[in-house]
Structures are given as structure tokens and as C-alpha cells.
Structure 1
Amino acid sequence: MVFKRLLGSLGVGGPTVDTVLDAGAAAPGGTLSGQVHLKGGSAGFDIEHIALELVARVEAEFEEGEREGAVVFERFTVGGGFRLHEGEQRSVPFTIALPWETPITELYGQALGIVLGVRTELSVAGAKDKGDLDQLAVRPLPAQEAVLEALGQLGFGFRSADLEYGRIGGTHQQLPFYQEIELTPAPQYADRVNEIEVTFLATPGGMDVVLEADKRGGLFSSGHDALTRFTVAHDTVHQQDWRALVDGWLRQLVEHRSAYAPAPAYGAHGHGDPYAPHHGGGHGHDGTHHHDGTHRSGPGIGTAVAVGAAGLAVGVVGGMVAAEVVDEVGDFFEGDEDEGDD
């Protein structure tokens, strides 16, 4: 999706900006390339800078409930310091590096309901306009794909995916939010867990896999959450028996109660505004993920994607849900665009 907008702060006759991303999905920790196309207005203007912001739709918890908003999680300056003459057309190529913790938006080409965008900011004569926003597609890393495929082979089904504002304790999480992929239990675990949640926290050398189980309560005990974390290296992807490895993780998660002591999620009690602009890898936020069982983030509109009997690797399919995802993406971008006009 590409938007062409007049630089509103300069009024009629100002330059226009149109950013076009290269085709295909990017990968966490990989590069994203494209072109920023500029067209001069009715007079010459000095282009001070062209910046790209990575934006995500994120959920945050507060005492009064849950709400969604746009969070900027990285920013790059890709050009500027030149004069754009009247009517001149100029293209500025760019290649930027995505953070390793960038959420994945698709699996085998099927959308998971995660909304990411690249927003272009043009600074001209001291005025800034965030006037171009493009949808960003991100595919999983080989290790992420291997874990999800193993879960599918073991009989787990995809329920939903979302982005939660906050931190997971005991990890080296960099972004101010994390992705949760929620799975229905495999038959062999269905009597013990209601749901499994998977979070990937990738780094240049490897990846933490955080597994959380919403456990069922017994006759004389209440249900509770358990949390475990495992680490894998990127260079061992083709050396692992992933099905056996992941099955071992799940048995450890389900059969043993975790000694993890939860702390409140950042923003869960109204501390600060999670949707204020954020740059530079999440420094300055010290909240941790809320694991006391009081919140289960069920499917949002357009996020519950059905899975076929073949498992996660093959069966992420849509129909009506796919249309909802498209509508929701459009609403998110249009709403964000409107905010830029204020």
C-alpha cells in the first residue's frame, strides 16, 4: 500500500513524497531496501532530512482495560541536505537493517494478523510531515520457522498472534514490546493446558524461545501459568531434530511448575504512555511481562487465522479472516495518517 500526500505543513505547492519498498518479505535482522520518490512543488525547497520509522500496532494493558496504538520501534535517516527544485523528480535509494526482534507478520506467505509499517518523514524548512506509510511484511528466520513447523507436526494449531507492550523478565529483550504466537494444544497436552504461547527474541548469534503454558486446574487446584526459556544458535538449524527438541521443551514446560516470579507489565498500571514515540531499542523501560494469569490476550479482530489439519507449517489459511486482516491493516494505516495531520 502506497500513499502519495502533499506536504501538509507547506500547503498547496509543496513537494510530495512516495516511498516504495522492494518486493518480497524481509527477515528479522536482515535488510530492507526501497526508494523514496520526491517530486518538487511550485517552488524550490531545501530538504533537510528524509527519515524512515518502523511502526507497529501494539496492545497495552491498563487497570481500566486494554487498548491498541502505534509504537515507533526504530528510526533511520536515509537522505537530506539538498535542494529540491520546482517540479524536480528525484529518487533516494535506501537499505536499512531491521532489528533482530522485529516481529514476523507471515508464515509460508500467510498473514498472521500482525501489523507493521514503514513511515516516511520529510523535513522541509523546519516543518516535518509524516505523510507516507507502507505495510511491512516480515518472514520468519530459519530457526523460527523450524520451531513453528515442529509445533505443527506435534499437533499444535495456530490460534492468534499479537504484539504486547512490556518486557519478559529474565531475557535480554531490546524492543519495548514482544510478539506472542498463541497455539491451541496438541491432543496429548489438551488435558493439561488450555493454550501455549511462543515468543521469539532473536540476536545476531541465536534466539531465545520463550514458552508459556496456560495450565488447566485440577479438582483441588486452580490453573496457573508456567514459563520457560530455551536458547538455540542460528548455525545449528540444519543439525537439530526439531520435533524431538521442541517436544522435550514442551514436556519440561508442562510437567514442571515454573519458579518464575512475575512482575507487572510496564504500562499495566498506567505508568507512562506506551504509544509515545520511541527510538533506539527500548532503553529506559524496565517493566516485565505479566504472568499471573489475570490476562489472556485472546484473538483480536482479524488475528485469529484458521489452521488446517496439516499443522502450522502448511495450514495457515484465511477466507473471511484474511479479508478482516486486510481491512484492519487499512484502518490502522488510515488512522495513523490522520494523526499526522493534527
Structure 2
Amino acid sequence: MVFKRLLGSPGAGGPTVDTVLEPGPVRPGGTLAGQVRLVGGGAALDVEQLTLALVARIENGNGGSGGNQVPAVLFERFTLGGGFRLGEGETRTVPFGVTLPWETPVTELDGRDLGVRLGVRTELEVAGARDSGDGLDPLGVGPLPAQEAILEAFQRLGYGLRSAGLEHGRIGGTGQRLPFHQEIGLTPAPPYADRVREIELTFLTHPGGIDVVLEADKRGAVPDSDEYPGHDALSRFTVGHDDTRDWTTEVDGWVRELVEHREAYGSDSAYGHDAPHGRQAEG
């Protein structure tokens, strides 16, 4: 797929920048490969820096459930080259292979678009001026094997996918590095439908594995009341990127532990959110 950038106004004779990504989704921690094709304009110029930026569109509000959209948030930038002269009409190709951050959100599952908007932006800095193009070109990210297996286990157990948005803030008590995290909202399976409103799932991936953070919203509580201090119960479990387990049994045990913890200790939690609607980790 080709993403075209024209620097300068039409007819101004500026250089053309086309970014071509290898087809197919990339996985978190995987290699995003492609090439940037530069074509010189009506005059030679000195390219000081060529950069690839990764950005995310984040909703105001809980997850991806219809809040007002905010400007794109930069979460990684890669320098691809620079320090060369691009002649008049000259064609130059700059290949690249960059590693996605481990915490990069998943945008699709089994070919289904989850509604998460990630983008690639090509930036060309010429004589101290940077042109960032006119918008974002989509970046597709698929799940790691363990992420996919866990989501499939939830589906087998009767949970439904409600949302998969991005949320500002960090989850306390974790090693989260990005300024946002992905929340996958699941409607509860029949055994828990009368006790919880929603299960929220977050994958915090790192080189050593995946921290699976589960959060249960209490059914019947009034938001922002003493009974409902943001979100009321969280649990964290760590798995490997390629772990093979009886995931149906494993996931069912996680949810049972989460719900029983909430019922035994009320809204006590080992983790919390730095986001405005949440609370910090205790102790």
C-alpha cells in the first residue's frame, strides 16, 4: 500500500514522498518494514532528517465508547536517515525495518477491524523545517499468539466483545511505558451477568511476556459514588508471548478469582488508574 505525501503547496515544485509498507498486519514487538521513496522537486535541497512517526487516535471517555476524538498522540519515532542532498527530479529509495513497541495496541482480530486507529506519519526535515504531511496513514496490528488465544477463550466461555478503545493514563502497579493503554470491553458470560456489568481486559506486553490486567465493573453500583470508586476490582496475571495452555480453564479461573475477590473485599484493588476516572494503586 502506498501513502503519498506532497511537501509544499500544489505546483510549488516541492519533493514527493511515498511511504510503502509491507502488506499485512504487524505484531507488537515485531518489525514494521517498508521503504520511503523520495522524488526531488524543481530544485535540489538538503534533507537533514527523514523520520517515521507512530501515532494513535485516542477517545475522550472510557475506552472506545463514543467519546470526543482528540488529536493524534505520538508514541514512537524512528530516524530513517538524513544528511544527504536530493537533486532536482532525483529519485531515492530509503528502505526501513523498525521494531514496534511491545505495548502497541491491537487493531484487528481474525480480520475484524476493532476500531482502534493507529497511524504512520512520514516527516521530512529540510533546512530546519519539518513537514509532517496532511494526516495519518493506517497501521494494522494483529495479536500475539497468547493474546489471540486468550481472546478466543473468552469467546468460548460466552463473553462478547463490546469495545476495544484506547484510554489515556497508566495502570498503577504495572510497568506500563506508553502514555495510554488499550481496554477491551467484554460483556459478561451468563454465570456472571447478574454480578458484573463488564469485564475490561488490558494486555501490557513487554520483552519477557504479557501482563493480563482484568477489571470488573460492579453491576448495580452508581458511578462516582462511594460504592463505585471509578473501577472496583483489578487482577493481573503474567503469561508468555507464545504460551500454550488450556486457556478456557485458565481464563475462567481468572474471572472467578476476580469476581470472588471483589465480593470478599468490596472495591479493594491492587491496581488502579492514573486516568481521571480511576484511582492510584494502593500501598
1:97 corresponds to 2:99: yes
In the aligned structure 2, how far is the partner of 1:77 from the partner of 1:41?
A: 22
Report the equivalent of 1:8.
8
Asked whether the equivalents of residues 35 and 92 of structure 1 are also in contact (C-alpha less than 8 Å), the reply is yes
Say which structure, 1 or 2, has more relative contact order (CA 8 Å, 6+ apart).
Answer: 1
Report the equivalent of 2:24.
24
Structure 1 residue 87: Cα displacement: 0.5
Report the equivalent of 2:205.
202
Residues 30, 97 of structure 1: alpha-carbon distance in 2 compared, 3 angstrom cutoff = same
Identify the match of residue 265 of structure 1 among 244, 265, 274.
Answer: 274
1:241 corresponds to 2:253: no
Report the equivalent of 2:42.
42
Q: Which has the higher strand share?
A: 2
Structure 1 residue 60: Cα displacement: 4.1
In the aligned structure 1, how far is the partner of 2:253 from the partner of 2:16?
A: 55
In the aligned structure 2, how far is the partner of 1:145 from the partner of 1:72?
A: 26
Report the equivalent of 1:228.
235
Q: Which has the higher helix share?
A: 1
Structure 1 residue 222: Cα displacement: 4.8
Structure 1 residue 66: Cα displacement: 5.9
Where does 1:112-191 land on structure 2 (aligned, <5 Å)? Answer: 112-131=114-133, 133-191=136-194
Structure 1 residue 82: Cα displacement: 1.1
Structure 1 residue 68: Cα displacement: 2.4
In the aligned structure 2, how far is the partner of 1:24 from the partner of 1:55?
A: 18
Where does 1:209-220 land on structure 2 (aligned, <5 Å)? Answer: 209-217=212-220
In the aligned structure 1, how far is the partner of 2:241 from the partner of 2:89?
A: 49
Residues 26, 10 of structure 1: alpha-carbon distance in 2 compared, 3 angstrom cutoff = same
Asked whether the equivalents of residues 9 and 127 of structure 1 are also in contact (C-alpha less than 8 Å), the reply is no
Structure 1 residue 204: Cα displacement: 1.0
- Aligned partner of 1:130: which letter? S
Asked whether the equivalents of residues 225 and 291 of structure 1 are also in contact (C-alpha less than 8 Å), the reply is no
Asked whether the equivalents of residues 61 and 67 of structure 1 are also in contact (C-alpha less than 8 Å), the reply is no
User: Which sections of structure 2, spanning at least 5 residues, go unmatched?
Assistant: none
In the aligned structure 2, how far is the partner of 1:21 from the partner of 1:60?
A: 30
Report the equivalent of 1:290.
278
In the aligned structure 1, how far is the partner of 2:2 from the partner of 2:27?
A: 21
In the aligned structure 2, how far is the partner of 1:181 from the partner of 1:262?
A: 17
Structure 1 residue 84: Cα displacement: 0.8
Q: Give the alignment's TM-score, normalised by structure 2.
A: 0.87
Asked whether the equivalents of residues 173 and 272 of structure 2 are also in contact (C-alpha less than 8 Å), the reply is no
Structure 1 residue 188: Cα displacement: 1.1
Count of residue correspondences:
265
In the aligned structure 2, how far is the partner of 1:222 from the partner of 1:194?
A: 14
In the aligned structure 1, how far is the partner of 2:189 from the partner of 2:154?
A: 9
In the aligned structure 2, how far is the partner of 1:265 from the partner of 1:9?
A: 42
Describe the SS at the equivalent of 2:220.
coil
Asked whether the equivalents of residues 28 and 98 of structure 1 are also in contact (C-alpha less than 8 Å), the reply is yes
User: Which sections of structure 1, spanning at least 5 residues, go unmatched?
Assistant: 269-288, 293-342
Q: Give the alignment's TM-score, normalised by structure 1.
A: 0.72
